[in-house]
């Protein structure tokens, strides 16, 4: 995997976590 793909995955995970926290 390229470093860029890893960064995109991390960013997507962070966005999901933020959405869950905001939802709660």
- Stretch 6-19: mean pLDDT: 97
Is this structure's pTM higher than 0.85? no
1, pLDDT greater than 70: no
In 1-24, alpha helices (H): 3-23
Residue-averaged pLDDT of the chain: 93
- Stretch 5-17: mean pLDDT: 97
Give the pLDDT band (50/70/90) at residue 7: very high
Q: In the 8-state DSSP scheme, what is residue 2?
A: -
Structure-token pair, residue 20: 């869950």
Give the pLDDT band (50/70/90) at residue 8: very high
């Amino acid at each position: 995997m390229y470093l860029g793909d890893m960064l995109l995955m991390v960013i997507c995970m962070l966005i999901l976590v933020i959405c869950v926290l905001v939802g709660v």
